Structure 1
Amino acid sequence: MKFVKDGASDIGMKLHPFTLRFVDDQAYLEEEYRSYYFSESISSIRITLVLAIFFYAVFAGLDVAVAKQYQTQLWLIRFAFVIPVLVLLLILSYRPWFRKNVQALVGIGMYLTGFGIILMIFYISKIGLYTYYAGLMLIFLIGYTFIRLRIVSATIAGWSIVLTYEIVALCFAHTPTIALINNNFFFVSANVIGMLICYFLDRTNRRDFFMRKLLEVERNKVKAANDVLEQKVQERTQQLLETNVELKKEIELRKQYEQERTKLEAQLMQLQKMETIGTLAGGIAHDFNNILTPILGYTEMALEEVEEDNTLRFDIEQINHAAVRAKDLVQ
């Protein structure tokens, strides 16, 4: 995935100052950030919902202690309204489409949880009690921090709770002015502080995401550079292998040439020896023929002069035959 589009700057986040959405050439990151944020926060959301259900049920004991006459109404609010909403929200968190609607649904859950406490405040105000406003402080704490709402959703839910409280306190509960001022002081302060905390948490989460993307870009650059380098190394290695093969072939050819040369030299030396021997043998044969010629001549002349019955004739014939054989051998 391309992190920074063509012509865009990859230095610094570009966020809307209030909603903290990615803007300008980084606007395309918003959808990916939401998916990333859901994966990072869904466990916290579910744990917070479980804790909210637990504490909402545990505080039912307080209803018995301080407002027993309205116990039925208060428990209906707790166990028939708020807790079922939270349980339903917890179940829905495992549905695939919850990812796309998580902020709206959790924001509604935060508001309805606060609205339940406002209804309780309305009932106990009839007996002059205004202490349940502290429960709204817990809702603000959870809504702006633990349940991982983004700044826009948390702000809408938080101020909707405050506005609803104002309407109920002024129009239905007839809260005394001093109590109303006291409660509003804490509500407004808690909302402003909660908004600031949520704002910086949201911004920090976006910065972490942005840094991850920058790191991913740099990692991809390094990987691309390594791939190019590896390709060059492979090409160079292939060239060296091919050169090595050529060198081996050349060495083998040189060895063959050397062997052929040595063989030819040996054959040449043998031929030279044979030529020398032939020359020597030819000279010897020539000299031997020169010796045999007079022997043959004289024996033939002697045979013509010696009688057939002469005892020397046999010896002369043997000498003549031996000379003829010797002559035939050196031809």
Structure 2
Amino acid sequence: MPIDIVTKPEQEISSSEIRLKVNPLTLSFCDEFEHLEDRFHHHYFKANLTVLRIIHVIAILFYGLTGIPENILFPEALPVLWAIRYCAVIPIFFIGLGFSFTRYYEKCWYLISAIYILATGCGFILMIILGPKPQIYAYYVGIIICLFFGYTFARERFLHATIAGCSLVAIYFLSSVFIVDTPPKILLFNMMYMFIANFLGMIICCSIEYTARRDFILVHLYKDEKEKVAAANRDLEERVNTRTMDLTQTNQRLKEEIKAHRIAQQQKEELEASLSRAQKMESLGTMAGGVAHDLNNILTGVVSYPDLLLTDVPKDSSFRDALLTIKNSGEKAAAIVQDLLTLARRGVAISTVVNLNSIIEDYFKSPEFLKLQSFHPNVEYKIDLSCDLKNIMGSGIHLSKAIMNLVSNAAESMPSGGTIEVTTKNVEINSPISGYEDTRYGSYNLVTVSDTGVGIAMEEMDRIFEPFYTKKVMGRSGTGLGMAVVWGTVHDHNGYIEIKSKLGKGSTFMLYLPKTDRQQSGAKESISLKQIHGNGESILVVDDVNEQRDIARQILTKLGYSVTTTSSGEDAVNYMRQHTADLVILDMIMDPGIDGLETYRQILEYHPMQKAIVASGFSETSRVEEMLQLGAGEYVRKPYTLEKIGMAVKSALDN
């Protein structure tokens, strides 16, 4: 329910004038003030964090020092009592104290405080159970102290403290009746005082939280109301001052407002155009993603079968060149599919620490660049790379493809020759980037690709990132996906693109990519087929496409594994009910029926430690990530190659 506030002219509102309406069971704010609940808990945590840490120390000292007399009172039971006290309960407080210095503590400090109440109280209950009778019955006093400590000092929330306190009383009662066999008179006496202590603690805890909530409303909510009044007064004063200005100033202000309105309207139109472009890209990307999924499944036969056959064909065979041609053609087609996945903004599957200088240097040494040079002999290339360029998190393959597309487009824009300059440097973004409504400020890598070509007309500027929009000859110099791939890659890396161009003068593309402080790992060693050969381990392949199952079976059999295949998730689950497998390879998307994630979940019910890897012709999704979190080893993108699937299987089996 809302808070009723009664105001009087030129007077402050006192706490007596506020009638706080809260849920009687949980003390949570009700109705229109319900949205303040999270703010209250954050404020309550910040206000009590230092006290909470001090309480940890007090609790450790209290629980530790009270164990010293046990050396005199119960020497025969000392190992048991001290084990509970110093090896179980006190370490819990130490762990909690350390955890209070992490950023996760705020999310679960209520639960932790409730655990303290249960842990300390249950520690005393264990002492009563295991200690010498009847003297140890007096330890119920320790439970009462725990209750008061938890209800008052610990700043525990009323709801959590009540649940913990009542649970502790119930545990003591059940233990005393069914485990310790406490004499009825002692049990009645102890339970009476424990119930009273718990009830009083509940009242105190309720009062503490209620008072804190009331103070929060007074300090924060009322402060907001006063700010609104002050803002309204300032606005009124400004309007009064504005209306007293002379005619000249009024006319000047009107001109400025008209100019500002025009600028705002222009910015609005630019943002609307940017939004429309993004929506169009997303729509086309969804279509491209689905097409890419189907093409990857088809290309598996073109890439995987030649790869498999080449292991059996002699090096001097006349078929070897033909098989290599088929495989290379399939890999080129797979590269175009990856462009479609990047367009769909589902292509950055692997994010590692990379350095853009290395990516750019590698591109300018690549066969693709040498081929570009041969097509454009009159183009001069300049590279100016910052020597202290920071690393970024991303996919080296996709970033290299983006650089390649930008350089290729720049060369295409200079049919009579010219200069292309590629530069990198570290920059700080502290103002919005043109074309982006929300710009995340911070440290970035800036990659600039400039040319002295024909430039881009204004009417074309909004379309250059559209898929299949190109002035190149389709099939000879491009697919129409180049700039769309650049756009998708930069946005997948949480970056920004800025374009500056003048007709007849050239164009400049500026790519802003967020930097990271992480360092690159060492280069990977090459893997031989002998290293990925199996030892007869059993593998279950689950795929709804017959060709995919057959290819996977042949490759894995070639690598020395015992392979079984099923055509659906349901068949795989039925098979695993009666059999076992060292590894399960699951296709992510299977239609009709359950997908790879649901299949793996059901298999885990029968084989909780089942090893698995994920295979898909689409890309990594949230469901793939969820499957990896459940325990799947790796993600393998189709089409398969002998080395790729062999390394994934070997890695999963070895872990």
Asked whether the two chains share a fold, i.e. TM above 0.5, the reply is yes
Report the CA distance between 1:222 and its aligned residue. Answer: 2.9
1:141 maps to 2:148: yes
Residues 17-54 of structure 1: CA deviation (Å, up to 9, x unaligned):
11111122221111111111111122221111110001
Report the CA distance between 1:126 and its aligned residue. Answer: 3.2
1:207 matched residue in structure 2: 214
1:66 maps to 2:73: yes
1:120 matched residue in structure 2: 127
Distance 2:177 2:46 in 1: 42
Q: 1:240 to 1:74 in 2, by over 3 A?
A: farther
Q: Contact (CA 8 Å) 2:127, 2:136: kept in 1 or not?
A: no
Residues 257-312 of structure 1: CA deviation (Å, up to 9, x unaligned):
xxxxxxxxxxxxxxxxxxxxxxxxxxxxxxxxxxxxxxxxxxxxxxxxxxxxxxxx
Residues 212-239 of structure 1: CA deviation (Å, up to 9, x unaligned):
2332223212321332144135426744
Q: Contact (CA 8 Å) 2:121, 2:168: kept in 1 or not?
A: yes
Structure 2's unaligned 5+ residue stretches are 6-18, 251-655
Aligned positions, number: 237
Q: Contact (CA 8 Å) 1:89, 1:105: kept in 2 or not?
A: yes
Correspondence list, 1:292-331, <5 A: none
TM-score of the aligned structures, taking structure 2 as reference length: 0.35
Question: SS of 1:85's equivalent?
Answer: helix
Q: 1:234 to 1:67 in 2, by over 3 A?
A: same
More strand by share: 2
> AA paired with 1:149?
E
Correspondence list, 1:153-302, <5 A: 153-232=160-239, 234-235=241-242, 238-239=245-246
Question: Percent identity over the alignment?
Answer: 36
Instruction: Out of 77-86 and 213-222, give the one that drifted further.
Output: 213-222
Q: 1:9 to 1:200 in 2, by over 3 A?
A: closer
Residues 133-181 of structure 1: CA deviation (Å, up to 9, x unaligned):
1111210111000000011110011111111111211112111111111
1:85 maps to 2:92: yes
Instruction: Out of 125-134 and 178-187, give the one that drifted further.
Output: 125-134
1:107 matched residue in structure 2: 114
1:45 matched residue in structure 2: 52
TM-score of the aligned structures, taking structure 1 as reference length: 0.67
**Which of 1 and 2 has greater Rg?**
1
More helix by share: 1
Instruction: Out of 77-86 and 59-68, give the one that drifted further.
Output: 59-68
Question: SS of 1:28's equivalent?
Answer: helix
User: RMSD of the TM alignment (CA)?
Assistant: 2.2
Distance 1:156 1:150 in 2: 10
Q: Contact (CA 8 Å) 2:60, 2:90: kept in 1 or not?
A: yes
Q: 1:74 to 1:9 in 2, by over 3 A?
A: closer
Question: SS of 1:180's equivalent?
Answer: helix
> AA paired with 1:113?
T
1:94 matched residue in structure 2: 101
> AA paired with 1:31?
D
Question: SS of 1:203's equivalent?
Answer: helix
1:16 matched residue in structure 2: 23
Distance 1:28 1:100 in 2: 17
Q: Contact (CA 8 Å) 2:20, 2:214: kept in 1 or not?
A: yes
